[in-house]
Every structure is written in C-alpha cells, then in structure tokens.
Amino acid sequence: MFKRISGLVLAGLTAMSVAACGSGGSDTSANTTGGGDSTITMGFSQVGAESGWRTANTKSVQDAAKNASITLKFSDAQQKQENQIKAIRSYIQQKVDVIAFSPVVESGWDTVLKEAQNAKIPVILTDRAVDSKDTSLYKTFLGSDFVEEGRKAGKWLVEEYKDSTDPVNIVELQGTTGSAPANDRKAGFQETIGAESKFKIIASQTGDFTRAKGKEVMEAFLKSNPDIDVLYAHNDDMGLGAIEAIEGAGKVPGKDIKIITVDAVKDGMQALADGKINYIVECSPLLGPQLMDLAKKVVKGEQVPARVVTEETVFTQEEAKKVLSTRQY
C-alpha cells in the first residue's frame, strides 16, 4: 500500500479518507499528505489520554505525521489492551504500510504481532516496550530508558538525605500496573536506594498515571501513614493529584513531604518552580519526528537501530524557574 500516485488521485483520496472501523477505543483518520508523489500510511495505536505527557505525545505524533506527509490513522485505546489489539488487527486488515503503537502493558502481544509479521507489515514500538522474547516481531523501539529515570529519582533522594541517619519513610505512586514505565521506574528507584536501610518504602500502589487516582491513593496513604517523609510518583499528574491530597490533609507539599516525580510537563514544572515538588526527572513525549523518520526507513526496507533511546535531563526547583517560560509541553 506504499503508494506512488499522482497529485490528482491523491487529492481524491484525501477527500475520501475514512476512519478505521470496529477497532475499539476511538478512531480518527487524517490524510496528512503534503502534496508529494508518494505517501506512507501509518496505523498508530495510542494508550489513551491519561496524562499531560500523553496529550503532548499525541500532538507530537500528529504534527510530525503532517510534516512528514505521512497519512496517520490514529486510535485512542482508552488505556485498554483489548482496544489496542483490535486497532492493530484493523490496521492489518486495512493493509497500512507500517504500524506504530505505545503498548499499555508489557505482556500479551505475541499473537497480534505475529499476525502483523505474517501480513508483512512492519511494527515500531514507541514510548513503551513489550516483553516478547521474539524481537523480530518489531523493527525498533523508540523511547525513554525508564529504569534510568527511576535511578535518577533515587540518586536525588540518596543525595538529599546523605547527612541523615534517621529512617526515611517513602510512599510510591506507581503508574499503570504491568506497564513498562511502572515496572522500570520502580526497579531503577529500588536499585538505587536499596543499598541504604534507612530508606523504607512504607506504601506503594498504582495511581494509573492519572491525577484523580493520584489524589485518591495519596489520601488513603495519608490516612494510614502519619509519618510520610517522601512521595515518589511515577508521573507528574499523579504527583499533582497527591499535592491536592497533602494540602487537604493540612500538610505542606515540598516541605512536610518531599516530592519526586517523572515527566516535566508544564503543570509539573510550575509546581516545581512553586516549591511544591522538589525534583523532576524528565521523560520527553516529543517522539513524533523520530518516529516518522524511522517509519520512512522501515517502509523502504532500510536497516534501523533495534533501540533508539530518548535524550532526557532532570530539574531542580531553581532550574524549573529558568526554563518554565520556554517549556514546549
């Protein structure tokens, strides 16, 4: 379906562009071709719209497809694996040129990936990994090193409490259960603080990467644990929800309870600059341009690296104040 067609035919196809049917979640299809004589169709299955990060990631993918003259069929899985599997099957039926998706959880993808492979449609993993042993089921994985993000969070904590011998009571708001960022951010953090027995994770529960759940779970943590020193939230949104819970309990976020989060979206950076969060590990959602470059290469049959790791940094409160006005997302 990698088409070489005239501008006239292309204009006709643009007008007739239709949404993918029966794929679960919500689907849209945009023929974003920019007038060249060839086009690639990408089927993209997004996790959902659970966080500021996700919204920025969706925008990055949609804008980049437009700029690269790639026709994007987009499906929002509403954080359900079954919706992603339906969307991928729908893209296979439609014979798209390439499928990209950000897997909501790590396990359970082999069957549908095999179906794509049998149909000779290349697959690109973006943002999140799968745990399939057979790595030939996808061409490349573009995204952050989530274990390293967890390590960075842990390193800040170790440094912050380096002169203290008292116990440090930590509560953890995990991301979506079974997702790569939840598994890896937990592992990297644990690995880094694990050598010092003063660090104690006294409660750890999923907040599903959403603000509402972050607030709800933090309220429960506060009720059953009077002596919380630190909150480690796997994303800004859960941290922001937790801040509401902490303030509601009459405590001062950033002081009575120190807060570390991951992402560095604008709302998180504002809270960091305001002193309500103490440290943010960046996770960049701006994967669209690299994804489109990789897609063009795999459709042409060119070799691509098996793993493309996103470049990221970390922010203190002072650094957040400096960069807030120029933050893109």
- Answer yes or no whether residue 60 interacts with ligand AHR by CB under 6 A: no
CB of 301 to ligand AHR, least distance (A): 29
**Under rule CB under 6 A, residue 287 binds ligand AHR:** no
Shortest reach from residue 75's CB to ligand AHR, in Å:
17
Question: Of the listed pieces 7-15, 49-57, 274-282, 295-303, which binds ligand AHR according to CB under 6 A?
Answer: 49-57
Angle between helix axes 180-193 and 146-160 (nearest 10 degrees) is 30
- Asked if 50 interacts with ligand AHR (CB under 6 A), we say yes
Q: Which residues pair with 201 in a beta bridge?
A: 170
Tokens of residue 305, six digits: 């690296």
The window from 28-36, 50-58, 108-116, 251-259 that contacts ligand AHR (CB under 6 A) reads 50-58
Residue with tokens 């950000």: 102
Region near ligand AHR per CB under 6 A, out of 6-14, 37-45, 51-59, 243-251: 51-59
Q: How far is the CB of 150 from ligand AHR (least distance, A)?
A: 11
103 sits near ligand AHR (criterion: CB under 6 A): no
Is residue 127 at the binding interface for ligand AHR, with CB under 6 A as the rule? yes
Q: Which is nearer to ligand AHR, 238 or 292 (CB)?
A: 238
Residues 303-322: x where in contact with ligand AHR by CB under 6 A, - otherwise, as a string: --------------------
Residues 260-279 touching ligand AHR, rule: CB under 6 A, are 262-263
Selected from 33, 46, 192, 235, the binder of ligand AHR by CB under 6 A is 235
Per CB under 6 A, does 54 bind ligand AHR?
yes
By CB under 6 A, tell whether 209 contacts ligand AHR: yes
**53 part of the interface to ligand AHR, by CB under 6 A:** yes
Residue 171 and residue 242: Cα distance in Å, rounded?
A: 11
Residues that bind ligand AHR (CB under 6 A): 50-51, 53-54, 127-128, 181, 209, 235, 237, 262-263, 283
